[in-house]
Structure 1
Amino acid sequence: MARGGINKAVVQKARTALLARGEHPSIDAVRIELGNTGSKTTIHRYLKELEATELARGKAPLGLSEQLANLVNQLAEQMQEEAQASVAEERAALARERLEHQSRLLQAQENIRQLVVQNTDLAEQLQASQEALQQERLQRQNAEVDNARLLQMQADQELRIGERDEQIRLLEGNHQHARDALEHFRQASKEQREQEQRRHEAQVQQMQIELRTLQQSLVVRQDEITQLHRDNARLLAEAQQQRKEWMTQQRQLEERERTLADSQQVLVRAEQDNGVLQERCNALRAEANRLGEKLTAQEQHVRGLLERLAEANTQLKSVGHVPPKHEGEASQS
């Protein structure tokens, strides 16, 4: 059988066209006439067969039955070659589709493997996120405990500050009472000023010493109050910083949960694509079965043509003419 669909009838048609144009039907000329297709060896063999046939016709004219038998043989050979070429093309197309299907199946399996790896990675990331979340929750609980402790310390300090303010007010009241008592004492002892001047001056000095002591105590307590206010401000700043860190960790946790949700959606879409590829695989298998059935039908058709050819030969034999054996029949026998 000639490659690329080249057969004896096609070569004969190209040779006849060249002769009609007055050109010599060489191998290269016939191949160019066929569109630069076909093997030169096959074309040379067909040209020799055609020349031998023409020489045989030139020596002895053939009868109508012999011409009819040759025509039937040529048609049968052409139909058989065309059927074989069609079957070969169908088989080649089926093989290409099978290779394409296998390539798609391998690609789908690779995609599934990658998705499985991604799913494993996402599961590990989810486990790590959950552990980090648990750790962050523990840290948040510890921060809340520390915050409550700091608030309690702040409340205690405010209570102590209030107590110290009350002590300061009492000291100021005592100081005022001392001043009032001094003034009263001055008014009461005005008549005896000269007699008790020394005792009075001693008492005044003592009171001034007590006053300076009270003022120094007041300054110390004011310094302690200022320090307490500073400590309170520092504790409030630390509490605010911890609250900011907790809010940042909460946002990171929400972002990780959203990332996990997106990864789960990607996995669902991959499973859907796998289902579509499986349906395509089933469709390709059905198409392969259909092509097999078509090939079987074409083979049955060829066998029918051969049977018809045998019946035609039998009829020719019955009318007293034995057709010469064709090259195709000789190869079949």
Structure 2
Amino acid sequence: MARAGVTYHDVAKAAEAIKTQGQEPTVDRVREHMGTGSKSTIAPLLKRWRSDNGEAADIGGLPNDLVEVVKSLHERVQQMADHRIEQTRQEFEASNKELRKELADSKNTIAQLTARQQDLESQIERQNKEKSALDKSLEDVRISLVKAEAQRDEAIVRTAELKESIAELKQENKDIRDHFEHYQQRTAEDRQQEREQFRIDTQGLKDQMQELQHRFDQAESRASELFDANAQLQSNADKLEQTNATLNRDLNGKVDETQNLKRDLEDAMTKNQEYQHKNEQLAEKIAALTAQKADVDKELAVLSQALKATKTELKTIQDKVTYLTDENKVILQEKAMILGQFKQLQGSL
């Protein structure tokens, strides 16, 4: 199918112009004269023009068979070259298109794997940060637990000290009671005389006993508070141990999840290497196709050289035919002269 803008009229006009210049209209000359059109478009139009203009007639005195053979050879070589070039171009374009598609798919896959790898790295980094935070929290809990245990031990020691102090106070109270009883016995005989003094001393002892009782009550209250604080510390220690166990379970879960993410990352890296290997294979295929294209270009150059050689040989044949034609004309002229002289001799005889 003729390309838009290239018509039979254009080809015919160009062929006639070339023929007017004394040259043989060929596909290359017509294409060069028009400045556009492909060989596959111009060739059938030029063939039609030759058929319409009776190009089978004698050209420059050449034999018709020789002209037809040369034209047929030229057209066949030209068509073979055009067909081979077009076929090679189509094959190359198809292979190039397929390779470009595979390369684009590989790039997309690599981009997806790279994004997945970055996501995994981000997740691993986030998990590491969370693990560090959990480790810090666990360390804080351990420190708090140690402090709580120290406070508990201190409270136990303090409780023991308070118990000893209470025991001492009880012993002191008992001694005072014993001393008071002994004092009562000693002062029973002169109670009347020393009643006022006894009353004063008794009141003083009562005040002292009240003070000691108050101190004893305070000590018991303090011991009760210490016991409550010890129970609270023990409860806090139990809660801290439970929290520690929970944190350890969460930490183990995070470690397992980190290991799974590392395995996913290794799988992704393996797939990435496989796609890189495929990409290298595609590059090798492209290089091979490029080498094939170079071979086709070389073969095309050889065909072009053969075509040029054929044209040169055709030119040589045309020149030789022209020379033989001229020589034949001279021989015919000489023959005519000899026949005229022979007729003159016959007339004179």
TM-score (norm: length of structure 2):
0.49
Q: Report the AA paired with residue 50 of structure 2.
A: E
1:285 corresponding residue in structure 2: 287
The answer on whether the counterparts of 2:88 and 2:296 sit within 8 Å (CA) in structure 1 is no
- After superposition, the Cα gap between the structure-2 partners of 1:305 and 1:45, relative to the gap in structure 1 and judged at 3 Å, is closer
2:78 corresponding residue in structure 1: 80
Q: Report the AA paired with residue 215 of structure 2.
A: S
Q: Report the AA paired with residue 237 of structure 1.
A: N
Shift of 1:139: 7.1
Shift of 1:155: 0.6
* Structural RMSD (CA): 6.3
- After superposition, the Cα gap between the structure-2 partners of 1:113 and 1:197, relative to the gap in structure 1 and judged at 3 Å, is same
Residue correspondence of structure 1 range 13-162 to structure 2 within 5 A: 45-53=46-54, 66=64, 70=68, 73-74=71-72, 77-78=75-76, 80-95=78-93, 97-98=95-96, 101=99, 144-145=142-143, 147-162=145-160
Shift of 1:289: 1.9
Shift of 1:156: 1.4
- After superposition, the Cα gap between the structure-2 partners of 1:180 and 1:246, relative to the gap in structure 1 and judged at 3 Å, is same
Which sits farther off after the overlay, 92-101 or 177-186?
177-186
Higher relative contact order (CA 8 A, sep 6+): 1
The answer on whether the counterparts of 1:80 and 1:302 sit within 8 Å (CA) in structure 2 is no
TM-score (norm: length of structure 1):
0.51
- After superposition, the Cα gap between the structure-2 partners of 1:68 and 1:90, relative to the gap in structure 1 and judged at 3 Å, is same
The answer on whether the counterparts of 1:168 and 1:218 sit within 8 Å (CA) in structure 2 is yes
2:240 corresponding residue in structure 1: 240
* Residue 166 (structure 1) aligned with residue 175 (structure 2): no
Distance in structure 1 (CA, Å) of the matches to 2:93 and 2:41: 28
- For structure 1, the residue ranges without an aligned partner over 5 or more in a row are 9-37, 323-333
- After superposition, the Cα gap between the structure-2 partners of 1:180 and 1:261, relative to the gap in structure 1 and judged at 3 Å, is farther
SS in 2 for 1:89: helix
What per-residue deviation string (whole Å, max 9, x for no partner) do you get for residues 187-211 of structure 1? Answer: x89x98x979969988887676555
The answer on whether the counterparts of 1:140 and 1:246 sit within 8 Å (CA) in structure 2 is yes
1:271 corresponding residue in structure 2: 273
**Identity fraction in percent:** 15
What per-residue deviation string (whole Å, max 9, x for no partner) do you get for residues 214-250 of structure 1? Answer: 4433332233234334544258638829847965994
Shift of 1:161: 0.8
Distance in structure 2 (CA, Å) of the matches to 1:158 and 1:225: 10
What per-residue deviation string (whole Å, max 9, x for no partner) do you get for residues 128-159 of structure 1? Answer: 98798778767765664554343223211111
The answer on whether the counterparts of 1:129 and 1:256 sit within 8 Å (CA) in structure 2 is yes
Count matched residues. Answer: 276
What per-residue deviation string (whole Å, max 9, x for no partner) do you get for residues 59-94 of structure 1? Answer: 99xxxx946963774365145314322323313432
